Chain A
Amino acid sequence: MRVNGEPVEYTGTGKELFIGFIVIMAIVFLPLALIGLGLAVYYGPESLILIAFQLAVTFALITLYGFAIYRARWYRLSRTVWRGIRGALPGSALSYSGKYFGSLLLGPMTAGWATPAMNLILAEHITNDMRFGNTPFSFSGHSGPLYARYALCWFGTILAYLAIAGLAIALFYSGTFNGLETALNKLGDYTAASDRRTGIHVVGIVAGLLAIYLLYVAIRSTIWSLYTARELNIFARYTRFSGAGFEFNATAWSLIALWFGNIVLIVFTLGIAHPFVEQRIMRYFVERLQVVGVIDFASIQQSQAKLDKRGEGLIDALDLDAF
């Protein structure tokens, strides 16, 4: 992978990622799981104390999402070498985490309409913190140009939702689901001498419901890739580095192809192809990103920030991704 003719090197190692994973498991998740287990065993599985504990843990983990995203970007940048120089993200993960949590709250409260503005604030925060060597990136712009596309996708999603819901309701009244309840009862029934037909019936209905859901997910993803492409392109244009600007050439279809390919890779290899997925994503970004203008390479010096030997544990534990 090359940017402006020079290869981009990723020097992160599995060992570092593994240590990060172990550390986060040992100091965060294992104690939480043990406490949860203890509460469940002592107070019973449906006790209020256990439910309160689970809610508190869920809340705490949500507030950590932003933190994890920031730390993952920090790790990846510190392990990316281009022209002999490392990237860096020396800012505070905690203040980013606060903004991220705010965006999680504002999103649903505004029925999603705060999303472009919040995404811009988050991108602005993290990009302004980014360094290549000792030289900072900068980000400035407004979320205004995002809203026309956002509105299109928002109303498109509503339409898709109504169409799918209509389909489901039509199927319901056509009697397709009749017998589902009794069939399901028989399935869970330990002594049930249910016949082969019942099994096929249940499997058929479940498969049908799954198909409807997948159809909805596919339509929804297609619609929103229009917005994502727009956002990527605009955010690239808002970014500057050492006197140069950026152009990004994302299109809805290329994003769909990327996502679809990744999902197929993950599903059909049971996740073993994860490294290839990462590579596909990296390649997508590198191939479509263009530096506009001249970067004064002589002025860029190696950053003196120390390297931490741990990887992106929290991001893996929370199953998030910075891209």
Chain B
Amino acid sequence: MTTHARNAEFFDGKSAMARLVHVEVRRDALVITQGSLPDIQWQLKNIELVSGGKPGQALRLKLGGDHGSRLTLPEGATADALVTTAPSILSAHKRRFWKGAGVSVAAVLAIAATGYATMAVAPQALARFVPDKVVNSFADSLEKSVIKSSQHCNSPSGQDALNKLARRVVSGADDPPTFSLRVFDIRTTGGKRLVNAFALPGGRMVLSAGLIESAGGADEIAGVMAHELGHVAHHHPEAAIVRVYGWQMVLSLFTAGQGADMIGNIAGVLAVLKYCRAAEAEADAYAVKVLDNSKVDPKGLQTFFTRLQKKKSAAGSGKPDEESSTLQNWLEPFTGLFSTHPGTDDRIANIKPRPGGTEPAILSDTEWTALKEICG
């Protein structure tokens, strides 16, 4: 055995002792000569770069799959020869890095996408399985936070008119859900009447007195009611409950159970009562079908939307409106079912009037007046 100049440091992966060795680069292998011990051959194709390889740095190498042995080649002729003979050692190192980075990003995106898909689909699928007890307790607390001490408007003649209107709308539904319909005089703290309608869990539909006041005819109210009935029929409010619990669950997953005390937070519920565009479209489609079956012109729904839209754009055009304050504007997307909704324009455009209009009229003039005065 000839003696060679020792040009590298070698750890054999069995002992922590460093050995100074001679390394020779052959066509397809690295030969490590360690004095009196037998030579070691590393196949070039199995060699991986651990670190180094940039100018001024030694090459630190290992054998793929081997957890221990390490070879450090200082900068110089041998290192250069290795890089020239097997340039893939350097490129594979970079490739491994980018592959790792790519896989990580892909994994994160895949998890996020799966999570999003689950949150988007699962609540709707599970909505009809929420027990009545839970639905009612949610509806109670929501009602409390939305209606508060507002006056329940139920003058006998007004209520009769409302019932008549509801019967007409429901006559168009194939399989109408169980529901209740009440009118409350909900006001802002400034005393302004709120124009809104809600479908709370458990089929509890609420119209605000402001909505009835601002409606131009019974068709419009019938349209709004049919829309809300669509939410009820499709279990959208119950889906919102599942969504709240779902987010709670995700939260508690990532905080090891400490996020669970947020359950019952009404603000959170309100935030999810803002339905997604698909749910609104579903409710609209339901409304149009039901109205059509009951021979009510869906144009009423359209008129109401249009008026609301005009009001919104007027408020958004920079006109100082003292009563709609900044804070309320922040909260608005979460609180109103007809509020600033990116899809409102489409929704309005998609409604086609019924040829022949509403026949016969839903309410007589006397009944309409009674409904307008339901708050007494």
- On A, residues with C-beta under 8 Å from B are 6-7, 9, 11, 13-15, 18, 25, 29-30, 32-34, 36-37, 40-42, 44-46, 54, 57-58, 61, 81-86, 132-133, 186-196, 198-199, 295, 297-298, 300-302, 307, 317-319
Contacts and interface: CB of A to CB of B under 8 A. Distances in A.
Contacts of B189: 186, 189, 191-194
B13 interface: yes
Contacts of B134: 41-42, 44
A46 B264 contact: yes
A319 B68 contact: no
Contacts of B214: none
A181 to B, nearest CB: 15
A188 B266 CA distance: 9
Contacts of B325: 193-196, 199
B14 A190 contact: no
Interface in B30-83: 50-51, 60, 67-70
Sorted nearest first, the 3 A-B pairs with minimum C-beta distance are A84-B11, A300-B16, A45-B263
A199 B18 contact: no
Contacts of A318: 256
Interface in B127-166: 130-131, 133-134, 137, 145-146, 148
A11 B70 CA distance: 13
Contacts of A37: 245-246, 248-249
19 contacts: A13-B100, A36-B257, A37-B248, A57-B257, A83-B17, A84-B15, A84-B69, A85-B15, A85-B16, A133-B16, A191-B186, A192-B328, A193-B188, A193-B192, A193-B325, A298-B17, A300-B17, A301-B15, A307-B67
B121 interface: no
A84 B68 contact: yes
A302 B15 contact: yes
A41 B130 contact: yes
A36 B260 contact: yes
A303 to B, nearest CB: 10
B194 A191 contact: yes
A29 B264 CA distance: 22
A130 B306 CA distance: 73
Given A84-B68, A191-B194, 6 more contacts: A33-B250, A45-B137, A46-B264, A83-B18, A191-B187, A199-B327
**Which of B12, B133, B327 counts the most chain A CB atoms within 10 A?**
B327
A57 B257 CA distance: 7
Nearest to B70: A84
A85 B14 CA distance: 7
Dominant secondary structure at the B interface: mixed
A135 to B, nearest CB: 8
Interface in B183-213: 186-190, 192, 194
Interface residues of B, number: 58
Contacts of B324: 193
B264 A84 contact: no
Given A29-B256, A301-B14, A86 B327 contact: no
Interface of B: 11-18, 50-51, 60, 67-70, 100, 103-104, 107, 130-131, 133-134, 137, 145-146, 148, 186-190, 192, 194, 242, 245-246, 248-250, 252-253, 256-258, 260, 263-264, 267, 270, 323-328, 331, 335
Contacts of B130: 41
B67 A297 contact: no
**Which of A13, A82, A84 counts the most chain B CB atoms within 10 A?**
A84
B249 A297 contact: no
Nearest to B150: A191
Contacts of B242: 41
A293 B102 CA distance: 45
B16 A83 contact: yes
A81 B70 contact: yes
B248 to A, nearest CB: 7
A22 to B, nearest CB: 9
Nearest to A132: B16
A300 B188 contact: no
A61 B252 CA distance: 12
Given A57-B257, A193-B190, A301-B15, A42 B69 contact: no
Contacts of B335: 190
Contact of B11 (A34, A54, A61, A83): A83
A132 B190 CA distance: 73
Nearest to A202: B327
B249 A194 contact: no
A315 B68 CA distance: 27
A33 B67 contact: no
B113 to A, nearest CB: 16
A268 B327 CA distance: 27
Contacts of A195: 325-327
Nearest to B186: A191
Contact of B245 (A25, A40, A187, A295): A40
A46 B140 CA distance: 14
A133 B187 CA distance: 75
A300 to B, nearest CB: 4
Contacts of B187: 191
Nearest to A83: B16
B149 to A, nearest CB: 11
**Which of B187, B190, B253, B264 counts the most chain A CB atoms within 10 A?**
B253
A14 B335 CA distance: 43
